[in-house]
Structure 1
């Protein structure tokens, strides 16, 4: 009985062994079958893909992205954006060092594999767990052929499906094209950074010469870029580029492409890089104009030629005017529009490299007295004439009591005199007469796109505006009241065909021509005799200065000979700039630019000849009127600051203990002045005593009944 047990065990083991053999056999058969089916499916996929592949000439011409070349008005290329391709270099013209370098670093078994490298795949899978543990993505093992397939047919999105399609395409490419053709495609189409596609574009960008004359060291630098174009770019990090090139040279020696002696004798540090083109103020203009293409055209693939309005001579003059005249601790901006709205020059700051922020189109700052343009336009449209007599006197509106820069009032004056010397009291009274909402509507009508408050102090320019909008408004006045819309792109072509052509619209009339003519008369006077004297250029000029609280912003906007130019200066942090006034540095910059910009244009007389204000004829009585307009010192609410609180020329302020509390209370309306025979009404504009008494402010409960804040 004991002997049966081992025999039974042997039978059981034998039966189990047979079962495992059957399982192994069927597994093998199934595996082979699945493998054969997979191979058949792969062959079908490869040869099906091969039959649908484009011809070699079609592959050569397939785009990698949209290239945009931007031209100035005279046709000069301002900037090239997007991909750059260079010349197509044929296989036998490509330096052997370049071919060897790229094979050594990217695909050392290129000459022997069928499009997919099994050894590379095995090595990648071996490292898969290690990369996963490090939180890094599984990548690599892409042959040169696979990279060609991805570059031409696929995206850079990383997923398993894309890798499978990439492999099938690579196998198909190898079945249809020779190794030489594939390498030629690769070297002429792969991305090397800096917008350069292909070795010729890369060679010209980094070394300043065609790829046909690449040296071994230069070839190593370019070959090293493929792995990480932005990281190893010589212009971005020369040290990293040299280090990577050394790795490439070592790999070339390791794979037998060059000898050890040649590798040792080749120093990537000896490579001379082409100088990077300087980023100048032209980029302020192109950064503003090019985003508009999305609204103007639908083409997103074909290379574009964009023709713009920019005048390079004027742009240089504008850049120089801002650099030379803007205070050292301040920024400056300038924009110049032709009579049809064409932007001829645009400077958004002193240095584009230091700051790409465009202060001509993006910054919103208080315009000070330059905003009085809209106050007087509204008054003229309401029926006022330039010789109307108005009364310069103390005035309180809803608790706000503006005063003139001189600190004095002069009784009966003409509207022309009030504008020439930028009398704040008259602007306030005009605003109250026509309605502050009407003034805001006029500003909006003339192209001011930023919010405009309708509190009384708005007449002194307390609402933030953009320089381009203010310049547009003045240009519309210069065009006899016809709306001027700034534009920078005149036409766009794709493959030689015009796909966009700008058309100027002159159908929008903003004010009657006689209103614009009267406003031009006032603006001439401001330059000829008022605060804008520094803007004179020896021919008729119409314009206006503007200075804000504590000399934080200085403006001058004006026009002559069909060209309208706006200048702003100030600090980005809105701090005080000692001595900055619209009639000083901004007006000088305007004159410096316009003197050159209109030099070759005929002198144009305005419809109305400049008429001197009455006090210009009596200089002995006029001394304090000729002071530069500083827009009146007001606080955040538009209330005046007493002299003790106003910044001195050194940018400091008076001591708090020196304040005249009685004066503050009276000026802000918190305490009524001594009783007067007058009522609390503001005297009429067109008549009144020469030196009236200060009117009593309205009761506190009646304040704030103007149009709601904001417009």
Structure 2
């Protein structure tokens, strides 16, 4: 009993000590929790501030990139100028500024809704695919009308994941701020239709000769199809494709109850009903179309006047148009050849003259820029360049036999095979076996990649068609690869536009600047290439200065060519028919050679006579692009 009384104070002391320790522990725990809360609040505040700053940065960036201006008085002008600033053409009426849903019938409005975004009136502006699009850098437009309108408000087009995010945020803001009808009006006013045309009122006036209020449902559907794909559904170049796409849109209108389904068959057409309004001005409309396409790509929709300085020399351009027309009428058409085209450029890649056909037609594409033709021997220089880079001696021996390569067995035009032949003689005789054997020796894919690197933009096959002229290419491709020696062995930066700016303010949108590129032809190979070209040059052409040039020799093909150059100009001429029919009476090295000579003689009037090799080093300037150097240093030399 005494022991129990003695243990009681001990237990009481232990409990007190335990309670004290527990209180200390709880106090320390409260301090730790308080510190953790402070740290958590600091972290939350930091991330909230960072997030707010990021959002504000995005908002400010978006605001600085947006253009909501709208000219209610007139469509903006595009002033197209030559390299020296002289006005070539003033283009008006390509930008819609006057779309009003109070005058355009509801049924016409519904055509564009059904053609692009049938659920437009039921969603909040974006779809799941638009959120996925934020994480990509492709050029696919937004899936909804609101997303496309958001894209059109940016001052300059851009393709990146960051821009896609900005477009999505602007689309959500548009849905919150404006009514569906307001968004639809902007869509009909700002959408790109192709050919430098924006909006349905401008397209209606140019393609149908009628205001948008009076067009038919099928005509409206053709415009809706063009908005979805301006190139594929161009009603002038691809009338049947455009009409079929329009018919599908009308069918969608029936499915979504915009019109009675049984009316659709009565509205469908095989081809669009067009009444195109156009005129050919001082400079060829082919040039105007090219400029307007590039302006549309670089600026998009705008309400401001635009000034475009091109590399075109009006004197040379006018000469090219006259010569192509005259020679075609006198020498080509009597022999069954309806069309001819020409491209002439400086050694640095600036286009000085381009003729897309004997006469301009809005229903035919630019045969010098957009249409691909079978090049024959014009493309065979590519494997020769490759071989000269490996061994610069034009007298080197190469195989001339009918060895099968990739299932193909090449045939020489003269049906003769010498076993061994010099590189120079093979080029002169235009044999098919040597380019094929060279491609097999160095690797066909290597040669194909090389062709792409030196300027061939057209699609190329993965077999020997690439090196024997059976892959169709453009005049621009042929001009680019033949300019390689003249441009110090570096691929040219082919361009028509030097500068784009807004009129009045002079705000610069685009300036051509010489790009740093890898040398693709060695100095020794350049010398060898000049030897090849001089070997095939007909001295009877008789220019007043050093030159080189050659053409296709075989008759009965569908395309005839002549390519030649001096120290100042590389010029390519093509002739053929739009239906790719054969032209048995035309040779590139005869008829087209005379056309080329007539042009080149007058195009060089007043320019000093210089060797091609020395001119390449004299003409080249570091960072050339601030001004167009065409004729500048040449004239200084004369003074």
TM-score by length of 1: 0.48
Match of 2:524 in 1: 514
Match of 1:550 in 2: 556
Residue 497 (structure 1) aligned to one of 489, 506, 520: 506
Residue 611 (structure 2) aligned to one of 599, 605, 610: 605
Match of 1:301 in 2: 303
SS in 2 for 1:584: helix
Report the Cα distance in structure 2 between the residues aligned to 1:298 and 1:308, rounded to whole angstroms.
Answer: 18
2:88, 2:282 within 8 Å by CA — same for their partners in 1? no
Structure 1 position 350, deviation (Å): 0.8
Structure-to-structure mapping, 1:19-34, within 5 angstroms: none
User: Deviations 1:556-613 (Å, cap 9, x if unpaired)?
Assistant: 222112211111111111111122222122222222211111222222213499xxxx
Match of 1:565 in 2: 571
Report the Cα distance in structure 1 between the residues aligned to 2:395 and 2:180, rounded to whole angstroms.
Answer: 82
SS in 2 for 1:454: coil
Structure 1 position 296, deviation (Å): 3.2
Structure-to-structure mapping, 1:397-546, within 5 angstroms: 397=405, 400-410=408-418, 412-494=420-502, 495-499=504-508, 500-528=510-538, 534=541, 536-546=542-552
Report the Cα distance in structure 1 between the residues aligned to 2:279 and 2:338, rounded to whole angstroms.
Answer: 26
- Shift in alpha-carbon separation, 1:439–1:310, aligned structure 2, 3 A: same
User: Deviations 1:197-217 (Å, cap 9, x if unpaired)?
Assistant: xxxxxxxxxxxxxxxxxxxxx
Match of 1:360 in 2: 368
Match of 1:325 in 2: 327
Report the Cα distance in structure 2 between the residues aligned to 1:551 and 1:507, rounded to whole angstroms.
Answer: 36
Structure 1 position 349, deviation (Å): 0.6
SS in 1 for 2:483: helix
Structure-to-structure mapping, 1:329-344, within 5 angstroms: 329-344=337-352
2:548, 2:564 within 8 Å by CA — same for their partners in 1? yes
Report the Cα distance in structure 1 between the residues aligned to 2:304 and 2:74, rounded to whole angstroms.
Answer: 10
Report the Cα distance in structure 1 between the residues aligned to 2:181 and 2:392, rounded to whole angstroms.
Answer: 76
- Shift in alpha-carbon separation, 1:543–1:375, aligned structure 2, 3 A: farther
Matched, 1:380 2:388: yes
2:465, 2:471 within 8 Å by CA — same for their partners in 1? no
Structure 1 position 305, deviation (Å): 1.7
Unmatched 5+ stretches in structure 2: 1-68, 96-101, 110-178, 183-200, 217-277, 616-639
User: Deviations 1:519-557 (Å, cap 9, x if unpaired)?
Assistant: 12211221147xxx65x5232223342367832111122
- Shift in alpha-carbon separation, 1:394–1:488, aligned structure 2, 3 A: closer
Match of 2:89 in 1: 79
- Shift in alpha-carbon separation, 1:61–1:594, aligned structure 2, 3 A: same
User: Deviations 1:166-224 (Å, cap 9, x if unpaired)?
Assistant: xxxxxxxxxxxxxxxxxxxxxxxxx999989xxxxxxxxxxxxxxxxxxxxxxxxxxx9
Structure 1 position 472, deviation (Å): 1.5
Structure 1 position 404, deviation (Å): 3.0
Cα root mean square deviation, aligned: 4.2
1:524, 1:540 within 8 Å by CA — same for their partners in 2? no
Match of 2:47 in 1: none
Judge which range, 312-321 or 352-361, deviates more: 352-361
Report the Cα distance in structure 2 between the residues aligned to 1:195 and 1:278, rounded to whole angstroms.
Answer: 17
SS in 2 for 1:472: helix
2:394, 2:422 within 8 Å by CA — same for their partners in 1? yes
Unmatched 5+ stretches in structure 1: 1-58, 86-120, 125-130, 138-158, 163-190, 197-223, 231-275, 610-711
Report the Cα distance in structure 2 between the residues aligned to 1:422 and 1:319, rounded to whole angstroms.
Answer: 31
Judge which range, 293-302 or 309-318, deviates more: 293-302
Structure 1 position 461, deviation (Å): 0.9
Report the Cα distance in structure 2 between the residues aligned to 1:321 and 1:136, rounded to whole angstroms.
Answer: 47
What is the count of residue pairs matched by the alignment? 386
Structure-to-structure mapping, 1:530-679, within 5 angstroms: 534=541, 536-546=542-552, 550-607=556-613
SS in 2 for 1:478: coil
TM-score by length of 2: 0.53
Match of 1:315 in 2: 317
Structure 1 position 406, deviation (Å): 2.8
Match of 1:97 in 2: none
Report the Cα distance in structure 2 between the residues aligned to 1:493 and 1:453, rounded to whole angstroms.
Answer: 40
Structure 1 position 368, deviation (Å): 0.5
Match of 2:74 in 1: 64
Structure-to-structure mapping, 1:153-192, within 5 angstroms: none
2:439, 2:467 within 8 Å by CA — same for their partners in 1? yes
Report the Cα distance in structure 1 between the residues aligned to 2:604 and 2:283, rounded to whole angstroms.
Answer: 20
- Bigger radius of gyration: 1
2:89, 2:283 within 8 Å by CA — same for their partners in 1? no
- Shift in alpha-carbon separation, 1:501–1:136, aligned structure 2, 3 A: closer
1:551, 1:581 within 8 Å by CA — same for their partners in 2? no
Judge which range, 498-507 or 376-385, deviates more: 498-507
1:551, 1:579 within 8 Å by CA — same for their partners in 2? no
- Shift in alpha-carbon separation, 1:79–1:513, aligned structure 2, 3 A: same
